[in-house]
């Protein structure tokens, strides 16, 4: 059997873009990461690249209201979109972020090759997650759902939780992940780069 382990050999923060300003102009493929604030989006990205603090948590002010581009293996962009649906955000701020996300996913000429939708596997898909899933489906994206924080799910509840996620999202294309234990890391890398 031929086992190929995907590996990220280099990763660097390239730039933050606001709207169309500052987007990379080259043709390298883009892989976008979306998710509600606090689902662990930055932790998932950091786990994939094997670095502690490449992507910055959405609870830290700074790079939040922009599209953050990371150059991976010199040939792919990971694009970290702003987190959405955080109750502590002001409505105006939340609306600004929503507009930015929608613009990138719907109007941008350089559409991402794949979109990684990160949800909290312990909480399950929320209304915001379902709205995002619908938007991605309408735009015919290749979607990979990552159910993060699976380390928080008790063994006795595992199959029930998985069933609930599949039923709500209407897909079985889900990677059960934990940024804490690194569970699912290679499975996700394989799906991203296949």
Q: Which is nearer to ligand GDP, 57 or 108 (CB)?
A: 57
- Pairing relation of β-strands 114-120 and 143-148? parallel
Q: Which is nearer to ligand GDP, 35 or 112 (CB)?
A: 35
Query: Residues 86, 58: contact at Cβ < 8 Å?
Result: yes
Q: How far is the CB of 187 from ligand GDP (least distance, A)?
A: 14
Please report how close the Cβ of residue 25 comes to ligand GDP at its closest, in angstroms: 27
Quick count: other Cβ atoms within 10 Å of Cβ 90?
A: 8
50 torsion bin: left (phi>0), alpha (psi -120 to 50), beta (else): left
CA-to-CA separations, 114 to 4, 28, 63, 88, 155, in angstroms, rounded: 21, 13, 22, 29, 31
**Of 58 and 66, which has the nearer Cβ to ligand GDP?**
58
Instruction: Name the residue nearer to ligand GDP (CB basis): 110 or 122.
Output: 122
Q: Choose between 66 and 148: whose C-beta lies nearer to ligand GDP.
A: 148
Rounded Cα distance between 16 and 161, Å, is: 36
Q: How far is the CB of 23 from ligand GDP (least distance, A)?
A: 21
* Under 8 Å between Cβ of 95 and 82: no
Nearest approach, Cβ of residue 115 and ligand GDP (Å): 15
Residues of this chain that bind ligand GDP (CB under 6 A): 35, 37-43, 57-59, 83, 148-149, 151-152, 178-180
C-beta of 83: minimal distance to ligand GDP in Å? 5
Q: Which two tokens stand for residue 66?
A: 């922009």
Q: How far is it, in rounded angstroms, from Cα 97 to Cα 132?
A: 13
Distance CA 125, CA 60 (A): 24
Q: How far is the CB of 113 from ligand GDP (least distance, A)?
A: 22
Nearer to ligand GDP, 23 or 80 (CB): 80
């Amino acid at each position: 059997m031929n086992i190929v382990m995907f590996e990220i050999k280099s990763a660097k923060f390239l730039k933050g873009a606001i709207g169309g300003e500052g987007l990379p102009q080259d043709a390298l493929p883009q892989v976008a990461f979306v998710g509600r604030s606090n689902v662990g989006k930055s932790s998932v990205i950091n786990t994939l690249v094997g670095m502690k603090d490449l992507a910055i948590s959405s609870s830290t002010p700074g790079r939040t209201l922009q599209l953050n581009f990371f150059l991976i293996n010199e040939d792919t962009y990971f694009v970290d979109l702003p987190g959405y649906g955080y109750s502590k955000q002001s409505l105006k701020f939340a609306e600004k972020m929503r507009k930015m996300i929608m613009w990138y996913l719907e109007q941008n000429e350089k559409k991402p090759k794949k979109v990684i939708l990160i949800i909290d596997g312990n909480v399950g898909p929320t209304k915001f997650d379902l709205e995002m899933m619908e938007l991605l489906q309408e735009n015919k994206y290749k979607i990979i759902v990552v159910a993060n924080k699976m380390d928080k799910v008790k063994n006795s509840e595992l199959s029930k939780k998985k069933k609930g996620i599949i039923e709500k999202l209407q897909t079985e294309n889900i990677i059960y992940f934990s940024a804490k234990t690194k569970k699912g890391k290679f499975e996700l890398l394989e799906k991203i780069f296949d």
